[in-house]
Structure 1
Amino acid sequence: MTSPIKVALVTGASGALGSAVVMHLLDQGYQVVALERRPEKIQERFGDANARLLALACDVTDTASCKAACAEATQRFGRIDVLCNIAGGFSMGPSIAEDAIAQYEHLMALNAGSVFKMMHCVVPTMVAQRAGSIVNVGAQSALTGQASMTAYCASKSAVIRMTESFAAEFKSQGVRVNCVLPRTIDTPQNRKDMPDADFTQWTSPEKIAQTMGFLASEQSAAVNGASVAV
């Protein structure tokens, strides 16, 4: 009997890391549901040649939008096997700057709130299946506090603690939760923003995607609640 094709949800799917993860999962045979606030960005990035790629509109900071996207994916495919929480953002600046409060609220909502909301919406389906794997994106810079990066470090540190907490809560029901901790990702935007940096010390989106693919797969069945530096 042929096993059903596995279904993976990817947030932030049109970005540098998100698109690398989408391509890796497609190469591994998944049905990929790419979530973006503007799904036309998925069309611009990937075209419409792959029948195993579905773009859905989703604002990951909005609970109703997350629930609607997860419900549509489940209705279409009958299952959700993998969730890759990639949507996020970065900004820095003095914590007493005029816009510091707005920066804090934005990064906590985008980096931390979105991860909680997506896991909250996806886990019931995975529990019903008694199987599922969630891979979040934290940051190595969140392991300790950094000057002028309070909001960012706080939001990504929250992702690590949520990963551990969800992993502990649902491990007996077949759901695994892990996260990767990148340093600087080698993207065109980062090269533009930091032209004097040593790019050879940065990690490519493709290599991070391979690590996330491993954590999503049954090859990592014994790994749960881990924060993997990449």
Structure 2
Amino acid sequence: MSSTSSTSTVIVTGAAGALGKAVARRFAEDGAFLLLVDVDAAALAQVHAATPDAVCIAANLGDAQDTSARLGAALEKHGPASVLCNIAGGFDYSGDAHAADAGIWQRMFDMNVATLVNASRAVVPGMLSAGRGKIVNVAAASAASGKAGMAPYVASKSAVARITESMALELRDRGINVNAVAPSILDTPANRSAMPEADFTRWVPLASLAAAIRFLASDEAADIHGAILPVTGRV
């Protein structure tokens, strides 16, 4: 694939997490220059210690001002991003929707929606100036319909899908592709620990989802706008 190279700047948010690490590794294989963002500075540095050329940025993406300041400084120094991978996010069970407290609703939207919106607000102006860019978001296969005990999560991930589609319509004529992947259960250590009796061979390997994200960031996906790509393994 030809869209990322040593001349490309790729931003990966949530880069200290399992998926963020896999996505960063996939773009590093292409020789891309990486700006890796996470709220946990220590974990970020530890996870990417073997990628000395990457720039690690500690930022609270749920906070618009912090995101603007920290990403803005990095982009001013290194130039506009070619690719933004909005990986930062999270999941939590909530119980019945009517009984879920305000905190979990706020937390799911902060983690899954505010992070995407704040990062995009900081990054898209540079892409517009350059006349090109790729944005890949992470929706969820489970958010295609309501799920018992998961209303705040599926609502937030449904919002990710609709934001992706809206941004795609807004930016497609200005050189920017916006798409999303919609995974089912990812094969991560945390998910194996949480579901020890499950058949994890049916889950989505991190490398597979990273490859799908890499495809949507490539020139081969130049004519794809507003897609919500299911990546579901055999779940």
Q: Say yes or no: TM over 0.5.
A: yes
Alignment correspondent of 2:14: 12
| Residue 73 of structure 1: how far off its partner (Å) | 2.3
> In 1, Cα distance between the equivalents of 2:161 and 2:79?
29
- Correspondence list, 1:63-212, <5 A: 63-92=64-93, 93-97=95-99, 99-212=100-213
Moved over 6 A (4+): none
| Residue 4 of structure 1: how far off its partner (Å) | 6.8
Secondary structure of the 2:186 match is: coil
* 8 Å Cα contact 2:16/2:40 also seen in 1: no
> In 2, Cα distance between the equivalents of 1:37 and 1:149?
24
* 8 Å Cα contact 1:94/1:100 also seen in 2: no
Letter in 1 for 2:91: F
- Correspondence list, 1:42-57, <5 A: 42-47=44-49, 49-57=50-58
Task: State the number of aligned residues.
Answer: 226
> In 1, Cα distance between the equivalents of 2:52 and 2:190?
30
> In 2, Cα distance between the equivalents of 1:54 and 1:227?
29
* 8 Å Cα contact 1:30/1:52 also seen in 2: no
TM-score by length of 2: 0.92
Q: 70-79 or 151-160: which moved more?
A: 70-79
| Residue 70 of structure 1: how far off its partner (Å) | 2.2
- Correspondence list, 1:208-223, <5 A: 208-223=209-224
CA RMSD of aligned residues (A): 1.3
* 8 Å Cα contact 1:89/1:107 also seen in 2: yes
Cα deviation 1:92-139 (Å, max 9, x = unaligned): 122243x53211111011101211111122111100001000000000
Task: State the identity as a percent.
Answer: 37
Unaligned runs of 5+ in 1: none
Secondary structure of the 2:177 match is: strand
> In 2, Cα distance between the equivalents of 1:32 and 1:209?
15
Pick closer, same or farther for the CA change 1:192–1:4 going to 2, 3 Å: closer
* 8 Å Cα contact 2:181/2:230 also seen in 1: yes
Alignment correspondent of 2:59: 58
> In 2, Cα distance between the equivalents of 1:153 and 1:64?
27
| Residue 215 of structure 1: how far off its partner (Å) | 0.6
Cα deviation 1:132-158 (Å, max 9, x = unaligned): 000000000111011111100000000
* 8 Å Cα contact 1:26/1:52 also seen in 2: no
| Residue 161 of structure 1: how far off its partner (Å) | 0.3
